[in-house]
Every structure is written in C-alpha cells, then in structure tokens.
Amino acid sequence: MPSKIKKEKGETKDWLLINIKARKNQCPQHYIDAFEAIDKLRPTVKTAKDKEIAIKHMNSDSFGEFSWLKINLISYVVIDPEAFYNLRTQEDERIPWNSDYVSNKKEAELYLYPNDHVIAVRKNDPISKNYILKFLEIALWKVEPEGFEVDMVKSRAQIDAILKAYALYSFEAKISFSNGIGGNTPLFSRAFDNRLNEMNPTTFEVKATGTKDSPLKVSEDGLIDAVANLSQRNGEITARVSRTPDSPKETISTARTPEVLKVTCESSGWGVSLGASIKKYFLRNGGK
C-alpha cells in the first residue's frame, strides 16, 4: 500500500461536487479528452489582478468499477518587478525578476469521474471554489468554445426545505440543460428535462408568485418539483416560505449552499472511496 494511502486511510473529509456538462457528445470519453486537452494546452486563468490558477499535474487511474482523473490545481501571485518597495529607504524599486517564479502558492486536489461527469474537491482546500469554477469554465471553453458548463451541486436539504415547506409564497429558478436524468425520474420531470435539452438554453428562468392566503401549490412531479430537482446539478433556486404553520416567512436560496459529501478514505484510497460515495449519493437523489 502506498505510504500516502496508508496515511490517509480512515480519514474523513468533507467534499464538494461540481457538475460538468457537455452541450454535445455527453459520453465519458468526451470529458476525458477535454481534460487531457487542457493538460496538454496548460492554460493559465486570471482570477484577480495579480492572481492566476493553472493545472500543476494530472493523471488517470482506475480500480474495479471506478475510473477517474486526478487533477492538481495551483494558484499563485504573479510578481510585478515594477511594484517593489524598500522599507528601509522608503523608496519604490524595480528589481530584475525571472517571470518563471511566482509566490503565495496554494494547491487543490480534484477528482474527475467521467462516467458521472462530476468533479469532487475538498471543501477546505485553500483555493477558492469560485476560482476553481472559473478555471474549469474558461479552460474547457479554450479547448471547446461554448461546449461546456459547470455548476456546483446544491444542497439537497435546502431543496427539500423548499418543496416540503408548509407554505410557498414565491419561487424563482435559474437552470440550464442537464446531462440527462436517471431512470427512476417521474414522467413529467423526464419530459420537462427532455424539452429543456432540446431547447439547449444557456439559462432558463422560472418565476412564480403566490399570496399569503393563496400560496403556490407544489405537487409531486409538477412544474415546481421538476425545476427544483433539476436545479440541484444545473442551477439555483430562491424561494419565500413558511416552514410550518407557526413559523415566520423566510427566504431560502441554494446559490451559496453546496452539497457537502462526508467521505471516509478506505484502504484503496480516495479515488475508490469518492467514486463509491458519489455513486450512492446520486442513486439516492435522482441519478444524473
């Protein structure tokens, strides 16, 4: 057993999930080819005035039924040789600087599962998740312009809190096309998803408003139910609800509440442990 796996065995960590969606050709090999192209191209993506993010290295692996790409990202500060300051002399200085050298290095470890078109990233890795999403979107577009979209997988508990609320007064959703949904999905939800994919929108918005005396009705496999469930991997929703007859109105939004998957590293390492947990998670929550 490799020393790193031996060290990590038994550790439990929180992971976030990022959904990767190809507009065309959603077979697993397409996702592998896209990321191999990124690895070959090695693009850098600017995340702030002096900050960039790039791939450090990437490798593929498999074990049993699971296969994945392990992607190590690095973020850093680009040094401006014109912006040095001497504290002793209190003077601005220009220092000759080799541009190959950067500073404030941070790293994140990603696992891409092409069969599930999803990436797992540690919740507490030091690179901002917004930076990671930005890198993925821009890097994928560099190898296939407008060919992919990325979405953070949203909290199932937040979605259920909206659908199961005592009263739903307003509902807003921003969603886009999906990778296709699982075989156990209700009839209307499946039909709605098919029509949405045929339309192929960048963004599809839904807005509904009720009143205190006449709140919105949420029926199983109805429009609100279908849109809310689709939003978990393909968008976000905001709703005004009362959770119980006696509770006050409150706003629930999934925009900043990603799903958190608690995973324990087994003897075969993170690759298999994450793959098994992701498979179980999506089987419980409507497949793809």
Rounded Cα distance between 114 and 71, Å, is 13
Whole-model pTM? 0.91
Q: Which H, E and C letters describe 169-228, residue by residue?
A: EEEEEEECCCCCCCCCCCHHHHHHHHHHHHHCCCCEEEEEECCCCCCECCCCCCHHHHHH
Averaged pLDDT, 50-54: 95
Stretch among 2-6, 87-91, 152-156 having the lowest mean pLDDT: 2-6
Q: 67: how many CB neighbours lie within 10 A of its CB? A: 17
- Over 60: is that where the pLDDT of 183 sits? no
Tokens of 143: 């190898």
Residue 271 has pLDDT above 90, yes or no: yes
Q: What is the pLDDT of residue 239?
A: 98
Across 1-5, 101-105, 189-193, the highest mean pLDDT is recorded for 101-105
pLDDT at 287 over 70: no
Q: What is the pLDDT of residue 185?
A: 63
CA distance 21 to 72: 20
Nearest to 84 by CA among 74, 97, 66, 73: 97
Strand 204-209 relative to strand 235-242, pairing = unpaired
Determine the pLDDT at residue 32: 96
- Please, what is the Cα angle at 100 between 96 and 102, to 5 degrees? 85
pLDDT at 202: 84
Q: Is the pLDDT of residue 180 over 60?
A: yes
CB 254 within 8 Å of CB 236: yes
* Residue 286: per-residue pLDDT: 62
Per domain, the residue ranges of the chain are 3-153+259-284, 156-253
**Whole-angstrom distance, CA of residue 207 vs CA of residue 188:** 19
For 60-90, what is each residue's pLDDT tens digit? Answer: 999 999 999 999 999 999 999 999 999 999 9
Q: How confident is the model at residue 200 (pLDDT cuts 50, 70, 90)?
A: confident
Q: How far is CA 40 from the centre of its chain?
A: 23
Are 61 and 32 contacting, i.e. CB atoms less than 8 angstroms apart?
Answer: no
Per the CB < 8 A criterion, the answer to whether 71 and 35 are in contact is: yes
Angle at the Cα of 154 from the Cα atoms of 203 and 62, rounded to 5 degrees: 105
Share of the chain above pLDDT 90, in %: 79
